Structure 1
């Protein structure tokens, strides 16, 4: 009896400590990641690049510490080790950390509540958004203004690009929806309307604005439909994700500027196909990625000289940067999570994964854990599926991540 009590106390203390460490790691990593998207990075005396590098290392060490605190069944332990080795090889080969850190967050997320994560994300996004916008308006940092194809001015409000402004506005709306369990009240629509205005009228980001509309329609369907229809909609999103992965790869490899089909899509997506094809032609896809820090990635498109790696398709970016082996593993896990989440009562747990599954085709940030933290649903569903298989409970009945 004493041994059982001690084991129970150990598990309780360990679980509580691990959860708190996880939230700290998420705050450190996501705050520094989003701050990198602002023009505060141009203020050399702030040393934000160095702070970001340190934040990634600290977050990774905290998450590894969580993994060591917990006890795992043998099959789960070997799965974590195998994925860890794959990601580590990719980091050594490519210098790209984010996929490995995403896996660390996912597998150390046992007992983490999505509602608390969404609150952390929402308020830190809001703080950075307001602080950056104010700083740009008083002239403390640069407010980039670019003309679009129609000659209209796109504003960044202090972010590194108008599309980045739209990305943060969209992330705010997504976190707000998760924080409020996907409800659709009139006051919630005001928040989404503000987000749409920022994306459409200020940043002039058509893709973010249209994705936000799809997001709101999806939430309306989930809130006002029978379970069977909701299941079919979620399954449809899973297969749309799979289609977009393959379609992105096909476009990246076979893009032809002389083809009317490719030209129409490329023009509609502001050159996204051309960018991904350009870097594919130059550097190819490697098993464990490629380090773009060692090469000149500048590219001229429509008279504009892009000096940084610009691949706004998240699937292509991950394949080129992290390599096809870790990327395909990640795509498979993402797809299977979406597919099986259709059976879950609390589908809003996976809300971020669902909407970013579609946004990934046009927004490179969509698979960052700092935005798409709903990816903890991968591990949650894995644990629930394991309990279901051994008969401990029905699939997705636990509310441990609410």
Structure 2
């Protein structure tokens, strides 16, 4: 656990109705994530006036969250803490030059996560996200909101069950599975893997999302390896081999972004060897690259992310690559900071032998090649772990032993 002495004393006095700033942060974060999961990327607008109320609630909750984080940061801020000042300046330029919504949201939450038990936060977020997920699917099943369907060229029909696009349903499902892996960590077993396999099969049949299904299948296999690598009483040689392989996953966060960028710039050289889906995504990314170019703080991209999308710029439709989106939309500064932040997070996770989180982080890096969701906090909870990088010295001083992935929900 990551507590300071004062934090621990307040924890013990909860029976007297005393709650810490970290407790309030977790509560407000869960509320915001829950509301956002209901209204963002879903067909909740079909509910008419009730949906409008939800949108207003989301707006109010976001104001409250930001206000609380300001108070929390001021209360915990140390003298001449340059990190907050730097992030405030970068956030300002992000809003000024680009559509900085998601980057600024990430900055808000990691700034406020100082002295917060992230393990506990993820456990609570899993519950809130699962509840929102089930509500949307249930509303679609009751025909209260639209079960959007799309048809591929080969005639295969894809369903979204209340979400705006089948890929969104797949992304939400993958996130829930990933959260569960991080929560269970060393207690993952073959029953978990079996359930994951069933969910993966159903996801593929319903959404026909190739990328998400591949990642889910990878999560099934790797979760078994994670469980094996975590057991100290297994065959030492085999366990060391598994740990060696998992350890090398940390390089994906460095290699994948640059490989993806190189591939986009040279897409015409090997388009014939790619599937139509990957080729079209690569071509679109190249068109965006040619139109906007690279800048320090990015540009406001004309883009859509839904079924009935449009763009004011000729030939530009959508940008399904998180790394190119980050580079063009938020600039080279944020691109480099993101890569460095993820690398230091990977390095810390490897040092702590948290193979569950290492696996999930690696799979999200792969996900970024074909989707723009990994830079959106509601669709990538692992971004919250960047708080470990920002506040590393503070966490190190206030812990006697770091333990990722507690074994209870």
The two structures have a TM-score, normalised by structure 2, of: 0.81
Post-superposition Cα deviations, 1:247-292, rounded to whole Å, max 9, x if no partner, equal 2222344433xx4x13433625373212322323333333212224
| Corresponding position of 1:356 | 364
- Please, which of 76, 79, 89 is the counterpart of residue 70 of structure 1? 76
Per-residue deviation at 1:218? 2.0
2:377, 2:383 within 8 Å by CA — same for their partners in 1? yes
Give, in angstroms, the shift of residue 182 of structure 1. 4.8
Structure 2 counterpart of 1:221, from 218, 225, 228: 225
Structure 1: 5+ residue runs without aligned partners? Answer: 1-6
User: What's 1:187 paired with?
Assistant: 191
Q: Which of 309, 325, 328 pairs up with 2:333?
A: 325
Aligned length: 381
Q: Which moved more, 1:198-207 or 1:211-220?
A: 211-220
Partner of residue 104 from structure 2, selected from 79, 100, 103? 100
Could you tell me how far apart the structure 1 residues matched to 2:169 and 2:121 are? 21
Structure ranking higher on relative contact order (CA contacts 8 Å, 6+ apart): 2
Is the 1:41–1:49 Cα contact (8 Å) retained in structure 2? no
Which residue pairs with 2:176 in the alignment? 172
1:184 Cα offset (Å)? 2.5
What is the aligned partner in structure 1 of residue 233 from structure 2? none
**Offset of 1:111 from its aligned partner?**
3.4
CA deviation after TM superposition for structure 1 residue 401, in Å: 7.9
Deviation at 1:163, TM superposition (A): 0.6
Q: 1:232 to 1:185 in 2, by over 3 A?
A: closer
Cα distance in 2 for partners of 1:273, 1:78 equals: 39
For 1:3, the equivalent position in structure 2 comes to: none
CA distance in 2 between counterparts of 1:230 and 1:334 reads 22
Number of the residue aligned with 2:309:
306
- Match in the other structure for 2:314: none
**How far did residue 206 of structure 1 move?**
1.1
- Secondary structure of the equivalent of 2:274? helix
Deviation at 1:99, TM superposition (A): 1.4
Taking a change above 3 Å as real, the CA distance of residues 158 and 29 of structure 1, as seen in their structure-2 partners, is same
- Structure 2 regions of 5+ residues with no counterpart? 12-17, 230-235, 312-316
Q: Take 1:170 and 1:73, find their aligned partners in 2: how far apart are those partners?
A: 41
Show the 5 A alignment for 1:386-397. Answer: 397=401
Partner SS state of residue 91, structure 1: helix
Does 2:65 correspond to 1:59? yes
Q: Quote the Cα distance in structure 2 between the aligned partners of 1:61 and 1:401.
A: 30
C-alpha separation in 1, matches of 2:225 and 2:203 = 23
What is the distance in 2 between the residues matched to 1:108 and 1:401?
Answer: 21
Per the alignment, do residues 182 and 161 of structure 1 end up closer, same or farther by CA in structure 2, a change over 3 Å counting? Answer: farther
Give the secondary-structure state (helix, strand or coil) at the position aligned to 2:319. Answer: coil
Secondary structure class of the residue paired with 1:146: strand
| Secondary structure of the structure 1 residue equivalent to 2:158 | strand
3-state secondary structure, aligned to 1:181? helix
1: CA distance between counterparts of 2:148 and 2:382?
31
1:157 aligns with 2:161: yes
Residue deviations 1:214-244 (CA, integer Å, cap 9, x gap):
1222222222136754553344222222121
d(CA) in 2 for partners of 1:43, 1:12? 46
Say if 2:182 and 2:405, in contact at 8 Å, map to a contact too: no
Distance 2:69 2:405 in 1: 18
- Tell me how far 1:338 sits from its aligned partner: 0.8
In the alignment, which of 264, 269, 294 is matched to residue 273 of structure 2?
A: 264
Q: Distance in 1 between matches of 2:287 and 2:57?
A: 32
C-alpha deviation, 1:169, in angstroms: 1.0
After superposition, the C-alpha distances for 1:139-186 in whole angstroms (9 at most, x for unaligned) are 211111111242111111111001111111111111122222253323
- The aligned counterpart of 1:21 is 24
RMSD, aligned α-carbons: 3.3
CA distance change for structure 1 residues 72 and 347 in 2, over 3 Å: closer, same or farther? farther
d(CA) in 2 for partners of 1:28, 1:184: 28
**Which of 135, 144, 153 is matched with 2:148 structurally?**
144
How far apart are 1:343 and its partner, in Å?
1.3
- In the alignment, is the contact (CA less than 8 A) between 2:345 and 2:389 conserved in 1? yes
| Partner Cα separation in structure 1 for residue 59 and residue 292 of structure 2 | 25
Matched with 1:115 is 119
Question: What CA deviation, in whole Å up to 9, does each residue of 1:81-124 have, x standing for no partner?
Answer: 21221122102222322212213322332333343223322222
